[in-house]
Amino acid sequence: MKTHWIAVDWGTTNFRAFLLQDHQQVAKIAHPCGLLSLTKETFASTLGQHLAPWLQEYGALPIVMAGMVGSQQGWQEVPYVTAPAGAQNLMAHAYSVSTQWGSPAWIVPGVNNLSAFGQPDVMRGEEVQLLGLHALHPGTEHYAVLPGTHSKHAHLCHGEITHFSTFMTGELFSLLSQHSLLGRALPEQTDDDGAFLAGVEAARHGAPFSHLIFSARTRRLNGEIPPQHVHSYLSGLLVGHELAVIPQETRAWVVGSPSLTARYQLAANALQIQLHAANGDDCFLRGMTALRTQLKDTI
Amino acid sequence: MKTHWIAVDWGTTNFRAFLLQDHQQVAKIAHPCGLLSLTKETFASTLGQHLAPWLQEYGALPIVMAGMVGSQQGWQEVPYVTAPAGAQNLMAHAYSVSTQWGSPAWIVPGVNNLSAFGQPDVMRGEEVQLLGLHALHPGTEHYAVLPGTHSKHAHLCHGEITHFSTFMTGELFSLLSQHSLLGRALPEQTDDDGAFLAGVEAARHGAPFSHLIFSARTRRLNGEIPPQHVHSYLSGLLVGHELAVIPQETRAWVVGSPSLTARYQLAANALQIQLHAANGDDCFLRGMTALRTQLKDTI
């Protein structure tokens, strides 16, 4: 088995590739060439072009890819694996793609399930971070929050994703701050923890969302929230609404960039939830390594 | 007391005026000259210009105005009256404006309160329809739903507005259908009751809103909702989320245009809520009449 290999995170807007030796990162590249900037025919050549320096140096290294690259709009649609799903199950359903330069390459499938709230739900890419979280912090049970445009909350049992739910927190924040009445005619915004926590507090009691968010207007009108902190308040409402589904005293993980996990920890603290942070990139690489390990007999 | 008078509904985008004899409508005009198209200095002249034909025929008729004309961005900011608020209380706080042509004129204040969910809340204009609902359908208690961009749910006790909450149903529908991932790359949309009711059903069990709406993507992906009915499904999610706050078996009113009230009745029926329709314009005129009656001793 070659010790060098390449892990690729290929999403809607970005392409990131990591050159690894076993599970140690050797080099990294990133390009803004996500799905939106590509057609089906250009995935293979784009990959070859970006990886050329590594391939020239190390030969036809194996490549494992995850993310929206496996969606309908991606290189090749790879059907979802239904939860419960672990590394073994996922790699058994990985899609093998051929490369002109002879690298063995796979696209990892996403996961689907019926959420705890009875809604059909899907993920593509986050499953890798979840596997990595378990690899970095082994345990019997994990509740993990992956904040983002479409945040994911997932349960792991012995490292398998048993069920999960999506929350459109980041996208709703963008919509409401940029396109709604709530964000209209605001001065330049500055981050404010007080306004953020006021939003978290307002959201904790389970008011219906479409009612709750109107308070970003009324609290600004009545002077409770200064006009330059409306975005912070709105962010608190959204994060609070998302975290309010987690029972108090729960010990959970938040996986992401340090700035984002810190924001979620601030909210969680106000909600009496114990939220431990894990670095999103570390989890991704460990998750990819766990998936690659499944290929031992193949390459 | 002159028997002819004028009721004006002056909102953000529209201006509507009604010539009445006692509570009977004699004539009506409408212009797209709401707040957004005016500056503070042009309200008086705009009013005079639009009402000129009636004023020439009947002289300096009294004018009662309601809606966003009394907001910060309107002709004159009229402070909110805090609930409980009835016709007497509202007219005691109406703002008297002077007109160059000698008409006595008033702007009706809006109402504020702390909602049933602990959020500060406001209305301007809807209070008139609520008073009218009570005048048309007298009773001790009313629960009224006023659907719209910002829907209002209000309790009336002996014709007084005791408390109310706003739901940003219409605005969220616009945002999600026009600007979010959920509305992206859809074919031309057609209304479909089945998809609408599927949305209502999904929303009835109280799933967190930011999770619930993701089902407009997943149910389309898995073929449960045809691509041309995604807007209907999304509308069902939003109306269902709004109506889910009303306990089953409640007898309530829905006040608005016939097409909108029919839509809400369809959803309410699926939720085992008894929703009786009242025409929004009828309620407005009866409410304005109730307010005008308070001026008996003045004019």
Q: For B69-113, write each residue's pLDDT tens digit.
A: 999 999 999 999 999 999 999 999 999 998 999 999 999 999 999
pLDDT band at residue A274, thresholds of 50, 70 and 90?
very high
Spell B220-245 as b/e; 16+ CB within 10 A means b.
Answer: beeeebbeebbbbbbbbbbbbbbbbb
Are B211 and A166 within 8 A, CB to CB?
yes
Are A175 and B179 within 8 A, CB to CB?
yes
- Testing the interface with A: which of B119, B204, B211 to mutate, by most A Cβ within 10 A? B211
Average pLDDT in chain B: 95
ipTM (interface predicted TM) = 0.95
Q: Euclidean distance between the first and final Cα of chain B, in Å? A: 6
Residue B241 pLDDT > 70: yes
What is the structure's pLDDT at A1? 54
Are A218 and B122 within 8 A, CB to CB?
yes
What is the structure's pLDDT at A65? 98
Residue A297 pLDDT > 80: no
Question: How far does the CA of residue A78 sit from the closest CA of chain B (Å)?
Answer: 14
User: How many residues comprise chain B?
Assistant: 299
Choose the weakest-confidence range: A120-124, B20-24, B275-279. B20-24
What is the structure's pLDDT at B299? 58
How far CA B199 is from CA of A183, B183, B275, in Å, comes to 27, 15, 18
What is the structure's pLDDT at A248? 85
Statement: the pTM of the whole predicted model exceeds 0.90? yes
What is the structure's pLDDT at A298? 63
Q: Which residues touch B147 (CB under 8 Å, ≥6 apart)?
A: B169, B170, B239, B242, B254, B256, B260, B261, B263, B264
The share of chain B scoring above pLDDT 90, in percent, equals 92
Chain A residues within an 8 Å CB radius of B238? 210
Question: How far does the CA of residue A86 sit from the closest CA of chain B (Å)?
Answer: 22
What is the structure's pLDDT at B297? 61
Alpha carbons B91 and B113: distance in angstroms, whole number = 18
Q: Which residues touch A19 (CB under 8 Å, ≥6 apart)?
A: A4, A6, A25, A26, A27, A28, A54, A58, A61
Residue B298 pLDDT > 80: no
Task: Give yes or no for a contact between B186 and B230, defined as CB atoms under 8 angstroms apart.
Answer: yes
The share of chain A scoring above pLDDT 90, in percent, equals 92
Mean pLDDT value of segment A272-286: 97
Are A211 and B119 within 8 A, CB to CB?
yes
Q: Which residues touch B77 (CB under 8 Å, ≥6 apart)?
A: B70, B71
Alpha carbons B171 and A162: distance in angstroms, whole number = 36
Task: Give yes or no for a contact between B163 and B112, defined as CB atoms under 8 angstroms apart.
Answer: no
Alpha carbons B82 and B181: distance in angstroms, whole number = 40
Task: Show the tokens assigned to B41.
Answer: 């200095």
Task: Show the tokens assigned to A108.
Answer: 């990892």
Are A119 and B207 within 8 A, CB to CB?
yes
For residue A266, the tally of other CB atoms under 10 A from its CB is: 16
For residue A249, the tally of other CB atoms under 10 A from its CB is: 8
Mean pLDDT value of segment A86-104: 95
pLDDT band at residue A249, thresholds of 50, 70 and 90?
confident
